[in-house]
Structure 1
Amino acid sequence: MAKTCRTRVRMWRWRRNSLRRRSDVIEAWVVLIAAIVAIVGGLVAGVTVAQTAEESLNRQRLERRTASAVLTEDAPGMNVARVVGEDRVWATVRWTAPDGSARTGLTQVLPDTAKGTPVTVWTDRQGRLEPKPGSPAAARFQGAWAGTLAAISAGVVVIGAAQLVRGQMDRRRMQEWADEWQRVDGRWGRATS
């Protein structure tokens, strides 16, 4: 059996061609515009989200302050159920807020730390406990990841919308083709009977 070779004609929707339909030209424009919007929109979304995330993390680092706190209970030992990280456990501490009020809350401390031991905690401007802010390098890294995910998501949304439009156009072309075939088939049917 002879092997057939299929030739691919690139950019055929943009060339003058007697077989090219109006819907083919519209589809080519949809694909081109979607590609441009996906690339440019993805880049803009990625850069914007990266800058916003990094600024937010840097602002947290500037707004959070250290406060001296005291353990109000003996810290538990290394218990699998209470372990936070590799070497920290949760324990209740007491500290003084900027307004002078006494506050209590849970924070991470070394296991088996005795009651009354001073520890350093991070608080916001109102004196609420907050996690330790990340370093500038961590803020850049998290901002870069957030920007990358935003860029990819924006591109996927635009390309997905373009695919939906193309699918709708394909359904319409198939319906037009079926209607045309019915007209041709009807003429052939009358001629042969």
Structure 2
Amino acid sequence: MAFRGPKAWLWRWRRNPLKRRIDAVEAWVVLGAWMVTIATGVLAGLTATGSVEHGLARERAEWRQVVALVTQKAPGTAPGPASGHSARASGEQVWGKVRWTAPDGTGHTGQVRVDPGSAAGTAVTVWTDPHGELVTAPPTASQARLRASLIGVLVGLSAAAVPFLGGRVLCGRIERRRLAQWDMEWARFGPYWGRKTS
């Protein structure tokens, strides 16, 4: 088993007679890359989270439930009382044409999910935006927080990847340059290796 000494914190900034200028440059590049990565990820994540929460809160405030009427009999057959269950309880629904009136008084038509066999004139509840167009039900406050948090994490990680990868690429170039310097010095001093000085 190889011997491992105690871990030296901040070893890149400690004095060392073998440390070269390129080693100091690499130390600052690593520090800068980590600082920019963390700052970028946190700022992008918080900004995205706030933007998504604001947008979803606006949807909850502006979208309204309205009563729409089925315009023609929906496909399928409505289960009778003898079947012992309703289509709504089983979750089976079909697409049906409906019409509704927007807040500005204009009439709209569209397709929504309704119970099979719904007769013309059956009332169904739909969600509309301020223009009276059909929308899905807005998320609740807790659903909005969860969605905003997930999107914020994804955006933060994606944004942080850019400076992180940039720092890795820069450190790779520094490492190649350091190896090239070692090769030059080895070519200069290698022939003297093992030669007696006296």
TM-score, with normalisation over the residues of structure 2? 0.79
Equivalent in the alignment of 2:71: 72
Q: Does 2:171 align with 1:173?
A: no
What is the DSSP-based 3-state SS (H/G/I as helix, E as strand, rest coil) of the residue aligned with 1:20? coil
Q: Does 2:132 align with 1:127?
A: yes
Q: Partners in 2 of 1:14 and 1:177 — Cα distance?
A: 21
Query: 1:112: Cα distance to partner?
Result: 2.9
Q: Deviations over 1:139-158 (max 9, x none)?
A: 11111111222222233332
What is the DSSP-based 3-state SS (H/G/I as helix, E as strand, rest coil) of the residue aligned with 2:65? strand
Query: 1:23: Cα distance to partner?
Result: 1.4
Equivalent in the alignment of 2:80: none
Which segments of 5 or more consecutive residues in structure 1 lack a partner in the other structure?
A: 79-84
Summarize the alignment of residues 12-31 of structure 1 with structure 2, pairs less than 5 Å apart. 12-31=11-30
Query: 1:178: Cα distance to partner?
Result: 2.5
Selected match of 2:119 from 114, 120, 126: 114
RMSD: 2.5
Q: Which letter does structure 2 place at the counterpart of 1:102?
A: G
Q: Partners in 2 of 1:90 and 1:34 — Cα distance?
A: 54
When the two structures are aligned, how many residues end up with a matched partner? 181
Q: How much identity, in percent, do the aligned residues show?
A: 42
Selected match of 2:157 from 152, 173, 187: 152
Q: Partners in 2 of 1:117 and 1:129 — Cα distance?
A: 18
Equivalent in the alignment of 1:44: 43
What is the DSSP-based 3-state SS (H/G/I as helix, E as strand, rest coil) of the residue aligned with 1:122? strand
What is the DSSP-based 3-state SS (H/G/I as helix, E as strand, rest coil) of the residue aligned with 2:119? coil
Which segments of 5 or more consecutive residues in structure 2 lack a partner in the other structure?
A: 78-89
Q: Which letter does structure 2 place at the counterpart of 1:65?
A: R
